[in-house]
Structures are given as structure tokens and as C-alpha cells.
Amino acid sequence: MQTEQTERQNAKHKKAMQKQKAKVDARIQQAQTERGLVLLLTGNGKGKTSSGFGMVMRALGYGQRVGVVQFIKGAQLSGEEIYLRDHCPQVAFHQMDTGFTWDTQDRTADMAAAQKTWGQAAQLLAADSPLDLLLLDELTYMLAYKYLDEAAVLEAIAARPAEQTVVITGRGGGSALQELADTVSEVKEVKHAFKAGLAARRGVDF
């Protein structure tokens, strides 16, 4: 049997939920525009690339056409790369064919690699691109190092097909990119296991 206090709490909760529902419903009513989005996942915490690949999976679930371009390729293979290459041959997948910049320390070679990779991304952003979703993983670093021309990159993203969504990951990104993006999320580091001496793990970190 419910006590009087529980009944009061339940009634209060129900009223609060009704109020909340009315607010959410009103906002849903207002959100009428339908088009592809630009999302920027930035910040110094862990979770940007994994979130981007989460959206890749979502889109694939609906049979949508997806592309992935990774702008920093480490020596480390990733689980998402293995999975997409083995099980999703329909996904357009490109990677920059050089190691991390602090490995190569060769600015000219890195710039050339960045330009080449951008060429592949640009094709996937072009007016005739069939893609519903394009992940540009770690693109922000190419802008920060000035390996790519920011104005040209922003222009290509802005001119993409109207229904195409673009997800950009990486720390920073600059104010112009933030301005262009419809959704910007900052993943903030509160703690990272690596800093406590825990090694990066398969299936978790790569």
C-alpha cells in the first residue's frame, strides 16, 4: 500500500513530467527544417572519433550511403577500420598515407599527403556525391597546421549536397568552422586512464 507521502511524490513527479513533455513537444513543433547537418566534435577528452563512428553505424543501419576520410593515420590500425574494410565494402574509406606528424617530422611530405587526402574528401562533398553521411576524422589538425586552406575547406563543406551530413572531429577547429557547423560538441577531459599509467586498449582506444 502506498503511503500518503509516496502518493504526493508521485503526483508531483507526474505534474513535472507533463510540464516537461509540453516544453519538448513545443520545441519539436518548432524544429521544421529538414536538411543535412554539419557537426563538429571537438575538445581534449576521449570520445570524438568513437562518436563519429557511432553516427556512421547509425546511418548504415538505415541503409544510408556513408564515407569516411581519416586525416591522421598512425601506425596503429583501428577496430573501426578493420570492421568497415571487412564488412562494409560499400563505405567509401580513405586514409592519409603518412604517420603522425610528430613521427614523420616532414612538413612537405605531410602537406602533400594532406592535399591528396583532401582531394578524396572534396570528391565526396561535390555536388554529384551520393553520400548521406561523411565523416572527416581529425580534419581540424590539417587546418591548425595550415596543411589545408581553411577557406577552401569551408567552402566545399558549405557547398555540399543539401541532404548530406558532415561530421568533423578533432581538437580545436577554429571559429569559422564552429560558425559553419550546426552542432558543436566539446568533449572535455575530466580524467583519462592513460594519465594514470593505463595502456591504450584494443576495442577501447583503437
Among 57, 182, 200, 202, binds ligand ATP (CB under 6 A): 200
CB atoms within 10 A of CB 8: 11
- Cell numbers 500518503 label which residue? 4
Among 20, 44, 105, 178, binds ligand ATP (CB under 6 A): 44
Residue 140 binding Mg ion, by CB under 5 A: no
Please work out, in degrees rounded to the nearest 5, the angle formed at the alpha carbon of residue 123 by the alpha carbons of 36 and 175. 55
Q: Is 132 left (phi over 0), alpha (psi -120 to 50) or beta?
A: alpha
For 181, which DSSP code?
-
Q: Which residue is nearest to Mg ion (CB)?
A: 49
Q: Kindly report the backbone phi and psi dihedral angles of residue 134, in degrees, each rounded to the nearest multiple of 5, phi listed first.
A: -130, 125
Among 42, 49, 70, 140, binds ligand ATP (CB under 6 A): 49
Shortest spacing between CB 49 and Mg ion, in angstroms: 3
Q: Name which of ligand ATP, Mg ion, none residue 145 binds, using a CB cut-off of 5 to 8 Å depending on partner kind.
A: none
Residue 194 binding ligand ATP, by CB under 6 A: yes
Residue 49 binding Mg ion, by CB under 5 A: yes
